[in-house]
Copies of this chain bind each other. A is one copy, B any other.
Amino acid sequence: MLSIEQLVTLFERFRKENSFQGKVAELYQPASYLMELGGKRLRPVFTLAAHQLFEDQIDRSLAAALAIEVFHNFSLMHDDIMDQSPLRRGQPTVHIRYDTNAAILSGDWMFAHTYELLSRYEPILAYDLIRLMNQTAVQVCEGQQLDINFEKMDQVTEMNYLEMIRNKTAVLLAAATRMGARIAGASREDQDNLYTMGLHTGLAFQLIDDYLDVYGVVTGKTTAGDIKQNKKTILYIKTLERADDADRTQLLELYQQDSPDKISRVVNLFDKYEAGDYLRRLTIEYSRQANNALQRVSVDPNRKSNFTSLLNELLNRNK
């Protein structure tokens, strides 16, 4: 069995062997640029590790793993335009480095290329993977739309927020995981279990991101970027829900403006109403569900060690 590190290496080799090429270079350069910026390759690793639960011949999952990573980067490329983000992984985003048209069109091409990669499989298998991709792509669009909607909404509930991150983030990790299992020939029940594991891991992962954005040790990320951008995360939602009238008014006002002490005042309110603790408990609950789903997968527990350590690492990180 390959280690996580070996899975990343295997994927990176395949990705480079399948670099974007064609007659119209301007279409592929922005895509290659974004893919080369790196990232954790979390989704491809989940695809390959899911396959490896069932058998060692995991090469067959590489095209699906790449498809998922290409789709992920497509969605980043378009989201960065919509969110007017100047940086991605510390480098200029595609619409800044090239221009908006390049980011739109190269993104569209990546979307098409996702389906090209999935169509490399034999018909019946390709059909299954493509249907899962369709459903996932629609959900990711819905998640991004909900995220945009929330900016203009006064009232966002915890359930709204969880639905948004489920669609925008978690379903892609879930689909990535399921694809590996499907390609390995896993039973439908095990595919379902692995989808559930990916989904809850994705939810917990995003919630940890939200937590660390405010409470984490400083990393490359802008600290408290969510507060600066008035993001209605669980921390905000829970504080608003629990706050007395005065604090509630104060928090609403803080999220309307850009005062110099905005971050510290917002964090004070989060702390006063123990929103961080609530978020941590929620995260632990999703982590537990992810682990439970992994336990239900009907393979020798020894084969699960990769995922056990992956989940442990992802869900107990502090940066």
Chain A contacts to B: CB under 8 angstroms: 22-24, 26-27, 78, 81-82, 100-101, 104-105, 107-109, 111-113, 115-116, 119, 123-124, 126-127, 130-131, 133-134, 137-138, 141-142, 144-146, 148-149
- In the complex, which residue of chain B has the Cβ closest to the Cβ of A111? B111
A98 to chain B, nearest CB (A): 11
**Separation of A92 and B107 alpha carbons in the complex (Å):** 24
Listed by A's residue number, 27 A-B pairs whose Cβ atoms lie within 8 Å are A22-B138, A24-B142, A24-B146, A24-B149, A26-B149, A78-B105, A81-B100, A81-B104, A104-B104, A105-B141, A108-B108, A108-B111, A108-B137, A108-B141, A109-B141, A111-B112, A112-B134, A112-B137, A112-B141, A115-B134, A115-B137, A116-B138, A119-B127, A119-B134, A124-B124, A126-B130, A127-B127
Q: Give the copy number.
A: 2
Residues of B near A27 (CB, < 8 A) are 141-142, 145
Point out the residue from B26, B107, B116, B130 that lies within 8 Å of A145, measured CB to CB. B26
Residues of B near A81 (CB, < 8 A) are 100-101, 104
**Separation of A78 and B24 alpha carbons in the complex (Å):** 18
Contact A78-B108, Cβ < 8 Å, known A116-B134, A119-B131, A126-B127:
yes
Point out the residue from B105, B113, B119 that lies within 8 Å of A130, measured CB to CB. B119
Given contacts A105-B141, A127-B127, could you give 13 more A-B pairs where the C-beta distance is less than 8 Å?
Answer: A22-B142, A24-B145, A27-B141, A27-B145, A78-B104, A78-B108, A81-B101, A105-B145, A108-B108, A109-B138, A112-B137, A115-B137, A119-B131
